[in-house]
Chains A and B, each alone.
Chain A
């Protein structure tokens, strides 16, 4: 029943966000296609690199493209679902607008994370989904729905891990009040995850850190390996453990932080 209720609420947020977004049609159209230009830049940079080398850390050009598209999809889903909400958290704290969310009989974290959705990226998401399909076939010669399911599972776990990390960092605004540039930090993390994780093998400590402490592999590398049917079982087992742990820890931290929330002058 609770899941049904939250799905219904999410649908309400989706509908209202879409209605609000379509009030400004020119803005929506402009940003929908502007985002594609960024995608073209990303593709161009890979082409330029592979003009100089045959492979990056053992990954071929098509495989690196596949990682790029999965990472871009991750980035666009984050923008659609959570960035705008979590990015606004510092404003909510500074102006005491968190009060409205705390007074509602609904999970506060859910409300803060998903209330407003963005629709600028839907064109790119559609394009990326198609390119992921195409490049999976280019790299492996086939497309397996089982591999797709495993990839989606890892992708979802990766999303939950990074959403939890980002959420926990955002919560520190309760003390620091004006950490408005956390999105820049997340872009950096996403950029790290947009490359095959094997590039970190250059230093042993790096690979360990980016596999378990800040597991950027789950952004794109591991879902890509799953699509190609090359994922290790240990990574599949570890994914939900990390996701559940990070969700639990960030929720505990949020509950603790709320004791220090002091609202703002009305």
Chain B
């Protein structure tokens, strides 16, 4: 039974384009130019309970707009959205009590007070019973290791500490559906790993359905089996992460180390020479002929070591975003 159903979702905006400079400002006072932006243009997908899905795309693809439509912040131009049996736009309280939207760049903590005060306020807002509040808070504080900063003013916390407290504030009511919009943005690699580990553990422990957007492929690779790729408001891929390689990567890399001197031009009969820095070289070959090419390389050249590698997910996604021919 799908917990999130999106059918032909569209969200269009009208934005005003202003020419730069004072002349442009004066001109826009009397005659404004408007442009129609198709932020989301016919997106459809479903999510089942407990699924953890990565929602990725280049900047301006429509990821955040989609999340905002799913959480009821934005009124769709057209299409149907069903989350937990509710129309998100109606923003009924039983619906809002079961979802959470965490946006990496925005915060809900009271700036001049310790995070604990916001947690107590959220307890009242979400009508969380005392015992459940204490239990959930203790679990989250332990998972994120923030006991020492709970009673420190938020404005005195580091970005990583603040992000952890934001997550706690967003998860106190144990939402069934969690929308995470770039939760690790701006964090150092150590903190990114900690947040990822926490989100993974949270998903396993509370069996929540999670839709995650991120520009860090590390987030997606570690956390999500299924990925939806969106570009220019349309879905271009929806499936398992491993299928991205099969669908978009038509090539493999032969990483070779030579025992004796070889000429770069001689390697071109094997495939396209991507890198050549003797004794190492990287040759790109079509996926279908990778084993044949490897055999020929071993037969015709003095090879000390040979690895056949897939292109990285990151490289593939980059190619998808830039629309390059991957053949």
Contacts and interface: CB of A to CB of B under 8 A. Distances in A.
A103 B105 contact: no
A20 B117 CA distance: 10
A262 B74 contact: yes
Contact of A102 (B73, B105, B106, B125): B73
B9 interface: no
A99 B75 CA distance: 13
A103 B73 contact: yes
B124 A9 contact: yes
Interface string A1-15: 000010011001100
A20 B124 contact: no
Residue from A105, A260, A263 with most neighbouring chain B CB atoms (10 Å) = A105
A97 B181 CA distance: 15
Contacts of B74: 261-263
Given A261-B74, A263-B74, A100 B125 contact: no
Nearest to A106: B125
A96 interface: yes
A16 B113 contact: yes
Contact of B97 (A105, A259, A263): A105
Contacts of A19: 113, 117
Interface residues of B, number: 34
Contact of A266 (B105, B108, B153): B105
Given A23-B153, A99-B73, A105-B97, A9 B103 contact: no
B98 to A, nearest CB: 9
Nearest to B72: A102
Interface in B119-162: 120-121, 124-127, 153
Contacts of A100: 106, 108
A1 to B, nearest CB: 10
Nearest to A265: B64
Contacts of B96: 103-105
B101 A99 contact: yes
B71 A103 contact: yes
Nearest to B60: A265
Contacts of B117: 16, 19
A103 B101 contact: yes
A245 interface: no
B97 A266 contact: no
Interface in B58-100: 64, 68, 71-75, 91, 93-94, 96-97, 99-100
Contact of A105 (B103, B105, B126): B126
Contacts of A108: 91
A13 to B, nearest CB: 8
Interface string A245-266: 0000000000000111111001
B110 interface: yes
Contacts of A106: 93, 125
B271 interface: no
Given A266-B64, A266-B182, 13 more contacts: A9-B124, A12-B120, A19-B117, A23-B113, A96-B106, A99-B106, A100-B106, A100-B108, A259-B75, A260-B75, A261-B74, A262-B13, A263-B73
Interface of B: 13, 64, 68, 71-75, 91, 93-94, 96-97, 99-101, 103-106, 108, 110, 112-113, 117, 120-121, 124-127, 153, 181-182
